[in-house]
Structure 1
Amino acid sequence: MRFITANLNGIRSAANKGFFDWLPQQQADAVGVQEVKAQDEHVANIFCSPGGLKGHFHYAQKKGYSGVGLYTREEPSDLITGIGVPEFDDEGRYIEKRFDKPGRKLSLISCYFPSGSSGPERQEAKYRFLAAIYPHLQALKAERDFILVADVNIAHKEADLKNWKGNQKNSGFLPEERAWLSKLFATDKEGGGLVDVYRRLQPDTTDACYTWWSNRGQAYAKNVGWRLDYHLATPALAALARREAIYKDQKFSDHAPLTIDYDFTL
């Protein structure tokens, strides 16, 4: 199964930059997109069925803001939007497709974590989201395997961004945020037990790992980037990851698509 994640920074903008020309060539089985920044009237019958994939979406109530989508080749057995927290469900941050068969419970999820870079109020909202999504993922993990693809808006370790020394007091690399990810990945009884699939496949990559670049200055040209886009998986599915690729030949948004191939089928 080939699973792509891509923050589009606006589905219409990414389409104008060639995203939906590129996508069918990838022969993906599933694609999670974030920051759709559109409503159903902008997406239905236009961006809902690229290359034989069927898209479902969770839109923000606020127009031109947030929103996630999940395209799959196979029809799901169930579809869930939101995590049951109105503050964040109103912002269109979570969509889950379930592919359950006898003896197997499996979910694919696209999620957009809040950014706190615009100021203290949004940083506090980001912390509230982290506090809400953690038990949600733990409850899900207790009953099923899943892969969650997301713009997490956190670089976990020093290798995950170029200027880590200068960003230790900035949203996206704050100690509290990084500690949250460390707890999510911890395998002890207090930890979340999820796997950072890219790092499982590429434990030592530095400059080549980035998936986001600021639009300021020459960040993209100089590869002054951050790794903000993740595949987070339960251990059984993470163990089936075989290959990863970050696509940088074309620039569809300020993020690059991250593709991971898994050795299983839906």
Structure 2
Amino acid sequence: MIPELSATEPGRGPLTVSSVNVNGIRAAGPKGLTAWLASSTADIVCLQEVRARPEDLPAGLLATLDGLGWQLTLAPCETAPGRSGVAVLTRIEPEAVRIGMGLAEFAGSGRYLEVDLPGLTVASLYLPKGAAGTPKQDEKDRFLAGLAPYLAERRGKAAAEDREVLVCGDWNIAHTRADLRNWRGNGKNSGFLPHEREWIGSLFASGYVDVVRMLHPDVDGPYTWWSYRGRAFDNDTGWRIDYQVATPGLAARARSAAVERAPSYDRRWSDHAPVTVRYRR
């Protein structure tokens, strides 16, 4: 049986979830993030690359979040302050919070956080970027090696508890050619390496669903990240690397998905755009 999802109030419209890499919450706030949060109807917002500890957050931002009714759960990067960091905003207090995947190497890295809500576990993920042929890629590969069994275990536990799982975030992998504009020129670059694409394909084959691709199977993109260099944004030369990945029961409830792309380059508050999905409760 699929449990009823009640992340806010049961039966009150769709369950709306947004996810976005903010590229530094202190910088993004005054550039438009705070205004976006104020206008959002989301029940849950997952944030990546927060780059701040709780004590670093501006008082004005915290007051705004409080005034909007958001509960903030933050897992900062303790090993390199000012880098990485993930967070989840919810309209109600989480039932439980778990930080990390139980891997000693990535403890305190600010890359994985999950919260339990009624009938639903939501995670915010910031997967390492990597760089082909360097120690950064080795680190990314070790993270992938640890993440796969953890997500399998989490899916099994959730099923036993009659709950769904949703992992939102910046996965830093484009799965197929449809997920980046310039796929021909990126075959040897991190984010589109064959073994990375195979890894995420295996995840989707194992029982997790790429919700946006499920709803938009025959389109290029929709892209979620554009380099600040050149005219990548204006030409829509982007990558789709920000996903909402769900267990099948929740994925079956997805009704619409959209990338909230800024209307123009000068109105961007991050190099990523929010990915928003509405699920039937």
Q: 1:25 aligns with which of 39, 42, 57?
A: 39
- Measure how far apart 1:119 and its partner are: 6.0
Alignment partners' CA distance in 2, 1:174 and 1:47: 38
- Measure how far apart 1:203 and its partner are: 0.6
Aligned to 2:196: 177
Alignment partners' CA distance in 1, 2:132 and 2:224: 20
How does the TM-score come out when normalised to structure 1? 0.92
Alignment partners' CA distance in 2, 1:72 and 1:17: 22
Alignment partners' CA distance in 2, 1:69 and 1:59: 8
> Could you list the per-position Cα deviations for residues 186-220 of structure 1 after superposition, in whole angstroms to 9, with x for gaps in the alignment?
1xxxxx2100000111111215x100011221111
Aligned to 1:94: 112
Dislocated runs of 4+, deviation >4 Å: none
1:69 aligns with 2:111: no
1:251 aligns with 2:264: no
Q: 1:222 aligns with which of 218, 235, 248?
A: 235
- Measure how far apart 1:165 and its partner are: 0.8
- Measure how far apart 1:118 and its partner are: 7.8
What SS does the aligned partner of 2:257 have? strand
Alignment partners' CA distance in 2, 1:21 and 1:205: 30
What SS does the aligned partner of 1:135 have? helix
Q: Kindly provide the amino acid, as one letter, of the partner of residue 174 in structure 2.
A: A
1:115 aligns with 2:129: yes
Q: Which range moves more in the overlay, 15-24 or 2-11? A: 15-24
Q: Kindly provide the amino acid, as one letter, of the partner of residue 252 in structure 1.
A: W
Aligned to 1:189: none
Alignment partners' CA distance in 1, 2:47 and 2:114: 12
What SS does the aligned partner of 2:199 have? helix
Q: Kindly provide the amino acid, as one letter, of the partner of residue 230 in structure 1.
A: Y
Where in structure 1 are there 5+ consecutive unaligned residues? Answer: 187-191
- Measure how far apart 1:37 and its partner are: 0.7
Alignment partners' CA distance in 2, 1:39 and 1:175: 35
Aligned to 2:16: 2
Superposed CA RMSD:
1.4
1:138 aligns with 2:152: yes
What SS does the aligned partner of 2:45 have? strand
Q: Kindly provide the amino acid, as one letter, of the partner of residue 97 in structure 1.
A: V
Aligned to 2:56: 42
What SS does the aligned partner of 2:149 have? helix
C-alpha change, 1:47 and 1:138, in structure 2 (3 Å) is farther
- Measure how far apart 1:77 and its partner are: 1.0
> Could you list the per-position Cα deviations for residues 73-106 of structure 1 after superposition, in whole angstroms to 9, with x for gaps in the alignment?
0211111111111322221111111124xxx4x2
- Measure how far apart 1:47 and its partner are: 3.6
1:52 aligns with 2:69: yes
What SS does the aligned partner of 1:200 have? helix
Alignment of 1:145-224 (within 5 A): 145-186=164-205, 192-207=206-221, 209-224=222-237
Identity %: 44
Alignment partners' CA distance in 1, 2:170 and 2:31: 20
Q: Kindly provide the amino acid, as one letter, of the partner of residue 260 in structure 1.
A: V
8 Å contact from structure 2 (residues 48, 170) kept in 1:
yes
Aligned positions, number = 254
C-alpha change, 1:178 and 1:4, in structure 2 (3 Å) is same
Q: Kindly provide the amino acid, as one letter, of the partner of residue 39 in structure 1.
A: R
Alignment partners' CA distance in 2, 1:219 and 1:127: 28
Alignment partners' CA distance in 1, 2:134 and 2:34: 36
- Measure how far apart 1:183 and its partner are: 0.3
Q: 1:12 aligns with which of 26, 44, 67?
A: 26
- Measure how far apart 1:251 and its partner are: 1.1
- Measure how far apart 1:44 and its partner are: 6.9
Q: Which range moves more in the overlay, 245-254 or 63-72? A: 245-254
